Amino acid sequence: MKKMIYFSGLFLVSVLAMSMSLLPGTAYQVGDVVADFELKGVDDKMISLSDYMGDGGLILVFTCNTCPYAQLYEDRLIELHQTFAERGFPVLAVNPNDPISKPGDGFAQMKQRATEKEFPFPYLFDADQIVFPKFGATRTPEVFLLDANRVLRYTGAIDDNPKDAASVQKAYVREAIEAIQNGNSPEPTKTKAIGCGIKVKKA
Amino acid sequence: MFIVGLDYARPGQSVFGNVRFLLDILCVVKNQGLHMRIVSLVVFLSLAFLGRSQSGEIPILNFTALNETLNLESDTTYVLNFWATWCKPCVEELPFFEEADIAYKDRAVRILLVSLDFATQVHEKLVPFLKNHTINAHVVVLDDPDANTWIDLVHPDWTGALPATILYRQKDRQFKEGSFDSTADLFAYIDSFHLKN
């Protein structure tokens, strides 16, 4: 009898786990392995996550042209890339916004912004809005830090002071990369920040 | 101090409006000690006399100051909308909040628009924006850089994306990330919270 309860319990748990992983709302959590994806960049070439991964991992960031908080971080993203690309963690930027809701975030405008700012990293367009929901991204800018095994190790803010880079106390992404490189776990693994809600296509 | 600022924020509001709003606050402190009563009286009087000359000034608060407003223990339902002039969906739903501010005037519902506009742009952007859009509801600016420390204190479900709205009455809270579709949508949301037991 005990065994039966045990097995039916196990069965229930596994069914529950299976159904949960199939739910559309289930996004990657820290510790999950991220699936590869491929999107078009501002140079009109398709770039995949696996193509672009560094030896250490990748700084994936959902960002856009129009959000003031995203703009505040453009120079810091460039700096992160310049510091960490050669240490195995390049930046990969993805614009998730629907340009019908936000015309300044269209592909042509992305090209223009990338040229103006001389982005040293690829700037991809999630035109069909299929990538950002897998990550559970809700705002721009929002970082997803992956390690060499494509495991999600940190999500959230770039640092703790959007408005003033000089006053940053906690450089979350930088510290998380350094933790990974030293064989430690980033702490914290998740932070929140103010950002612009991602503009989702209206059905 | 914050409450003083809150009342200054409503341009074009009568002294009586300020007084009425303050009465709510006084109800909160009536069970407190003599010291609090005196403090409240001072705040009350200074507002009644000085409030008008200060109207148009928008208070800039850190989260510690805003958090006081998130923890008032009265029977009033407080509706706090987090927004910014540069946030398109926020701007689209702002008229609904202005309408709510008018429609719920005589009920125990208070609207507060918490702007995340940059503190340096209050005079050049926020003030003209409120004037152009005829927004008379209370506005404060929240200026506190390390959002990771306070977003969860507003509501654990908030990711930090704008717009976001929290309703609360005493310890009861209801939160929505994203925008409302219409005035009716917002009113239904407020009513579902305010009218429940």
Per-residue pLDDT tens for B100-133? 999 999 999 999 999 999 999 999 999 999 999 9
Instruction: Tell me what the pLDDT averaged over chain B comes to.
Output: 81
Smallest CA-to-CA distance from A28 within A158, A189, A173 is with A189
Can you give the pLDDT at residue B82? 98
Location of structure tokens 């219409």: B182
Contact assignment for A197 to B87 by CB distance below 8 Å? yes
Higher pLDDT, A21 or A152: A152
What residues of chain A lie within 8 A of the CB of B118, using their CB? 68, 163
Tell me the three state secondary structure of residue B16. helix
CA nearest to B67, candidates B149, B7, B8, B11: B149
* DSSP conformation class of B122: I
User: Most A CBs within 10 Å: which of B87, B148, B158, B165, as the mutation test of the A interface?
Assistant: B148
pLDDT > 90? residue A189: yes
Tokens of B172: 């009861």
Name the architecture of domain B60-194: 3-Layer(aba) Sandwich (3.40)
Q: Given this model, what pLDDT does residue B42 score?
A: 46
pLDDT, one tens digit per residue, over B131-154 is 999 999 999 999 999 999 999 999
Residue B46 has pLDDT above 60, yes or no: no
C-alpha to C-alpha distances, B145 to A64, A164, B118, nearest whole angstrom: 21, 9, 10
pLDDT digits (tens, 9 = 90+) for A8-19: 555 555 544 444
Q: Please state the ipTM of this predicted complex.
A: 0.82
Q: Is the pLDDT of residue A141 over 60?
A: yes
Taking the C-alpha atoms of residue B182 and residue B161, their distance in angstroms, rounded to an integer, is 20
The pLDDT, as a whole number, for residue A26 is: 86
pLDDT tens column, B52-71: 333 468 999 999 999 998 99
CA–CA distances in Å: residue A154 to residues A38, A95, A138:
21, 19, 15
**Mean pLDDT value across residues B156-163:** 97
- Is B118 in Cβ contact with A157 (below 8 Å)? no
Residue owning tokens 């949301």:
B189
Domains, chain A, ranges and CATH? 28-197 (3.40.30.10)
Q: Using CA atoms, how far apart are residues B26 and B30, in angstroms rounded to an integer?
A: 6
Range of lowest pLDDT (A36-50, A68-82, A133-147, B55-69): B55-69
Q: Return the number of CB contacts < 8 Å for A and B.
A: 67
Q: With cut-offs at 50, 70 and 90, classify the pLDDT of residue A160.
A: very high
Largest Cα–Cα distance in chain A?
A: 71
Locus of tokens 């529950």: A16
Q: Can you give the pLDDT at residue B45?
A: 41
